[in-house]
Amino acid sequence: MSAPAGSSHPGAGRILPKLGGVAAAGVAAPAGPGPATYQQNGPAQNQMQVPSGYGFHPQNYIAPSGHYPKGPGKMTSLSLDSQHDDYYSGLYTVPTQNVVTTSTVNQQPGAQQMYGRVPPPASHNMGSAPESFQGAASSASHLHTSASQPYSSFVNHYNSPAMYSSVASQGFPSTCAHYAMSTISNAAQASVSYPSLPAGDPYGQMFTSQNASTVRPIKDHSFSGQNTAISHPSPLPPPPSQHHHQQQSLSGYNTLSWSAPGLLSTQDNPVQNHTGSLVTASNNPTNTGMQFGEYVNNQASSAPTPLSSTSDDEEEEEEDEEAGVDSSSTTSSASPMPNSYDALEGGSYPDMLSSSASSPAPDPVPEPDPAPAPAPAPAPVPAAPQPAKVAKPFGYGYPALQPGYQNATPPLNSGVQPHNPAYSGFQQYAQQYPGMNQLSSSLGGLSLQSSPQPESLRPVNLTQERNILPMTPVWAPVPNLNLDLRKLNCSPDSFRCTLTSIPQTQALLNKAKLPLGLLLHPFRDLTQLPVITSNTIVRCRSCRTYINPFVSFIDQRRWKCNLCYRVNDVPEEFMYNPLTRSYGEPHKRPEVQNSTVEFIASSDYMLRPPQPAVYLFVLDVSYNAVEAGYLTILCQSLLENLDKLPGDSRTRIGFMTFDSTIHFYNLQEGLSQPQMLIVSDIDEVFLPTPDSLLVNLYESKELIKDLLNALPNMFIHTRETHSALGPALQAAFKLMSPTGGRVSVFQTQLPSLGAGLLQSREDPNQRSSTKVIQHLGPATDFYKKLALDCSGQQTAVDLFLLSSQYSDLASLACMSKYSAGCIYYYPSFHYTHNPSQAEKLQKDLKRYLTRKIGFEAVMRIRCTKGLSMHTFHGNFFVRSTDLLSLANINPDAGFAVQLSIEESLTDTSLVCFQTALLYTSSKGERRIRVHTLCLPVVSSLADVYAGVDVQAAICLLANMAVDRSVSSSLSDARDALVNAVVDSLSAYGSTVSNLQHSALIAPNSLKLFPLYVLALLKQKAFRTGTSTRLDDRVYAMCQIKSQPLVHLMKMIHPNLYRIDRLTDEGAIHVNDRVVPQPPLQKLSAEKLTREGAFLMDCGSVFYIWIGKCCDNNFIEDVLGYPNFVSIPQKMTHLPELDTLSSERARSFITWLRDSRPLSPILHVVKDESPAKTEFFQHLIEDRTEAAFSYYEFLLHVQQQICK
């Protein structure tokens, strides 16, 4: 087994998927012996299929059309059978037959027909639905393979979804094999109906069907969706199938995407679901590989189910997966396919489409093929007749999979169990991520657009590609080519890597000139999260890695760590699965089924009893502050949210105010009214009373309310202009140090008294300087030291800076940066003069006060031996090489990690990353949230390029650039950014692409790289030549460091939509509301027409730009004014009008708003108002007086490359 597998790995690239599949089968067979007939049968079948597949592939290439008719039924049955059989044992004979048929089928390329036929035959043969399912999926895959490469990739996707669906069915708790089968059969039938179904419906169904029964339909849908394209025809006559495919593509997409998510969800959670869907969509090649892998896994999982042979099974599974991958890769690599396929593919998966479609498309395909070739050729490959197949970059990834797969396989199995969560996840998912729906629904339309990106390696001539930005908002959430093979993998929303294929050596990474790093959003709000309570948390004995879906079980009693490869014992308790209430299936435990889990930690994980939630508010009440009037808003918000503050009965709260003196408030229960204690000795601050300043929220609630009501008016007549922030913070530290907790500091000016006083360092004349921007670093280390002290006492300091003048945020921010706090900045805040800021503060406070919070947290990031953490970015204190100390963790905090490859990864095909966040919940529970990400290792440069996650790379680069600006200079950082583009594109041009050198060529995966870098250069943090206040700049830098990727991307590259012609086309349904999904516009004034109205989503701000000649109907219906002239200059709300267009616009904006933690403020900008400069500076593709336009930037890059 191992031998073939190994061979397959290396050879995978060229051999192609089929070979891999064969190899896998072979492997399985050897492994199988233990399991008995089932397994053996399975492998045998697999083998059969593989050879046939191989042979077919070439044939397919040659004569794609012919294959369809014969193959499908048998093919599907085969694949299904093999998988199912393994799982269910009963169907062995069938599979073998199927195999044979498959071969024949393959020879006959009519993939569509195949599909259609497949489902029926499968059902017939199997009788049991599940088999048919798998069969269909497998058949689909086979078909794909047979089809041209691009097609195959599509097919793979389809298959994979199908697989997913099948998995899901299995996953259902109650689901038996029979169930699955029934569902499958349904699916096949359903598939027929599908085409008619609206895109939106599938989602709804998916969601609704949480129960096994319901689920099945869902799965069926997905399955059918995939099949539909393929299988539908089967019930029907072949001819219609093609049309169906195209038409269905939309529905199919939906279903597909769903199914993928479902898989993910089953494993991980809703989040994962997202990712899964995203992944599938975005990463075509990888996805296919992934899907295959999953596919395999499913089979494997079913087969291995239990028993002593588990390890073997796992191995087999792994091999299978690999094989599947290989096959997928091969297929992908194959020559261009028929248009119908492309259309189908395109319709179904946006990403897929792009990749798959593109592949067929034509031009690009050839190049990609070579790239994939590098993938190791599996031994079986001999058949690998299709050199072209190599084209898929993904192929390489596959070989690597094996180790992971073992682990993965269990997850697959586990997948069954997880399904329940997954389902719920789906529902949530659906709701939360309407985007997905949108994607799927819109994909159909997109296919045309997406077609340009057949694969991530398709070369794109940047200077000639006019519309580089995808039209769909879809890509925004799904941009990364993240997943290799697993539905099990962590959601990209939580965990992303800049290179989804990890280069084998540092040398290779250096050659690629791309940053390698992780982007984390570890504590984000999840709707579905498996929480595990057990006495023993299973961890590796040597590296302390938490058990995760990517470990491998050697046998029932031992598992092998996927990070350090140590073999560990499985504790007795772990043998029992609480989900299924069965014993002896450690690989089905939720820990092994989900890559995102949360453990309730025992007292071993506590240094002290869990602390209560403690909140201290430190408020500036100097003249400046009173003048700005933030106290009213704060106290109001606090009063409203007092009961919603996260915490338990021990929650404590306290208040301090300061100007030139420090005021404490004694709120001890029993007092008739709050007592104010003034400490005027700011040189040596002391606490006037030790124990009644932080009081129990519930016992002293009345006093607290009194205080909050009185506070806004208490200082109304103050004449004190000084601010003793430093001493106040020292006092706060003293107050908090016994317990730890959260300190919220509200500051409105430069601290001018006592320790930590600051001088104004900004020279307003230098604001628009193109030369040296100074003072980006702190002026004093007082705040840093204070933060470190606070961090040591588990206290985080959150800073709200509401100032109209320079306040040296660069120095003040240190108090939050190193204590794991967060920073909010409201420039020129005034409660009446600047209502939009006031509103923003109000909304931010609401979120801030009520969001989840974790106390006394630490986060450790582990990765596979050979990789090491290089630098961390975010707000925290680095306590050791892989341990971050986080006094508080909040759901809006993101982190970035740079990685380096210290040892060659040649002996491993997968690498894993695990973040474990240990925190105390607001309820006083010690919890550990664990995310695990698994990625393939590749050895060729082309593969590295194929796996680039542009958005992640940009965010990591932005973080690095911030560091560079502070440690060196802003111009250095800017140069470094430009060089990043120049280096990576020239490295690509000189090594991978062999096109003419005159053109600026980027792989499809990197095509947005220059655009994003240009956007970064024009971002507030890094721009020069445009007047930028120092505090604004520093704040932008702080945000880059601490924002999670999704929000950061909006900051860097806003989304522009045209909203005066919103239609329901492609709309998604969220909570019974219809949310229109207008296409993305590129950020250029050329897209703005005077007749239109545009919405720009900058993350923290929305702009609605109204053109001069905008349709009066729109203005009246949406804005509530009769014509353009009557629109006021400052408008921050859309009135709730009872018109269709108003409803659409509002639901769209609300939907955008709901997706982010900080409520953005809305500005309505008239074409001729002075505020329009704010709007126009975000049009980053245009030339400004100080910066390149996009095209000029490209020329500049090209020039640099040619040097």
Partner 1 sequence: MVLPRGPRAAFPRCPRRCSSPAMAFTFAAFCYMLALLLTAALIFFAIWHIIAFDELKTDYKNPIDQCNTLNPLVLPEYLIHAFFCVMFLCAAEWLTLGLNMPLLAYHIWRYMSRPVMSGPGLYDPTTIMNADILAYCQKEGWCKLAFYLLAFFYYLYGMIYVLVSS
Residues that bind partner 1 (CB under 8 A): 777-782, 784-785, 788, 792, 818, 868-872, 877-883, 898, 900
Token readout for 831 is 């409660």
Least distance CB 883 / partner 1 (angstroms): 7
Least distance CB 912 / partner 1 (angstroms): 20
Alpha-carbon distance values, 478 to 251, 435, 779 (Å): 19, 9, 41
Residue 1125 · residue 1167 · CB < 8 Å: no
Of the candidates 1108, 1146, 1140, 1150, the residue with the CA atom closest to the CA atom of residue 1127: 1108
Residue 219 · residue 166 · CB < 8 Å: yes
List strands edge to edge, sheet with 1161-1166.
1080-1081, 1055-1058, 1093-1097, 1101-1106, 1161-1166
3-state SS assignment for residue 315: helix
Least distance CB 872 / partner 1 (angstroms): 8
Nearer of residues 361 and 957 to partner 1, judged by Cβ: 957
Token readout for 347 is 């319709």
Nearer of residues 669 and 902 to partner 1, judged by Cβ: 902
Least distance CB 780 / partner 1 (angstroms): 7
Residue 838 · residue 826 · CB < 8 Å: no
Half-sphere exposure for 667 (CA within 13 Å, toward CB): 25
Distance, in Å, from the CA atom of 273 to the CA atom of 141, rounded to the nearest integer, reads: 22
Q: What angle do CA 548, 549, 554 make, to 5 degrees?
A: 90
Q: What are the backbone angles phi and psi of residue 71, rounded to the nearest 5°?
A: -55, -45
Least distance CB 683 / partner 1 (angstroms): 16
For residue 995, give every residue at least 6 positions away whose Cβ sits within 8 Å of its Cβ, in sequence order, or none: 367, 459, 989, 1001
Nearer of residues 292 and 877 to partner 1, judged by Cβ: 877
Residue 730 · residue 782 · CB < 8 Å: no
Nearer of residues 64 and 778 to partner 1, judged by Cβ: 778
What is the β-pairing status of strands 1101-1106 and 1073-1075? unpaired
| H or E element, residue 1003 | strand 1001-1003
Residue 161 · residue 208 · CB < 8 Å: no
Distance, in Å, from the CA atom of 1203 to the CA atom of 1201, rounded to the nearest integer, reads: 5
Residue 623 · residue 718 · CB < 8 Å: yes
Nearer of residues 848 and 877 to partner 1, judged by Cβ: 877
Distance, in Å, from the CA atom of 1158 to the CA atom of 800, rounded to the nearest integer, reads: 14
The length of the chain is 1203
List strands edge to edge, sheet with 552-555.
552-555, 558-560, 567-569
Q: Which residues of 779-806 are buried (b: 16+ CB within 10 A; e: fewer)?
A: bbebbbebbbbbbbbbbbbbbbbbbbeb
Report the 10 Å Cβ neighbour count for 466.
7
Helix axes 419-432, 149-171, angle to 10 degrees: 120
Least distance CB 1034 / partner 1 (angstroms): 15
Residue 276 · residue 264 · CB < 8 Å: yes
Helix axes 177-193, 129-146, angle to 10 degrees: 60
Nearer of residues 228 and 793 to partner 1, judged by Cβ: 793
Of the candidates 1036, 1198, 824, 71, the residue with the CA atom closest to the CA atom of residue 63: 71
Nearer of residues 668 and 780 to partner 1, judged by Cβ: 780
| H or E element, residue 910 | strand 910-921
Nearer of residues 433 and 818 to partner 1, judged by Cβ: 818
Token readout for 502 is 């990890």
Nearer of residues 737 and 768 to partner 1, judged by Cβ: 737
643: exposed, middle or buried (C-beta count within 10 Å: 0-12, 13-18, 19+)?
exposed
Residue 640 · residue 769 · CB < 8 Å: no
Distance, in Å, from the CA atom of 63 to the CA atom of 49, rounded to the nearest integer, reads: 19
- Give the N- to C-terminal CA distance of the chain in Å, as an integer: 51
3-state SS assignment for residue 71: helix
Q: What are the backbone angles phi and psi of residue 951, rounded to the nearest 5°?
A: -65, -40
In one-letter notation, the amino acid at residue 1139 is T
Distance, in Å, from the CA atom of 475 to the CA atom of 1096, rounded to the nearest integer, reads: 17
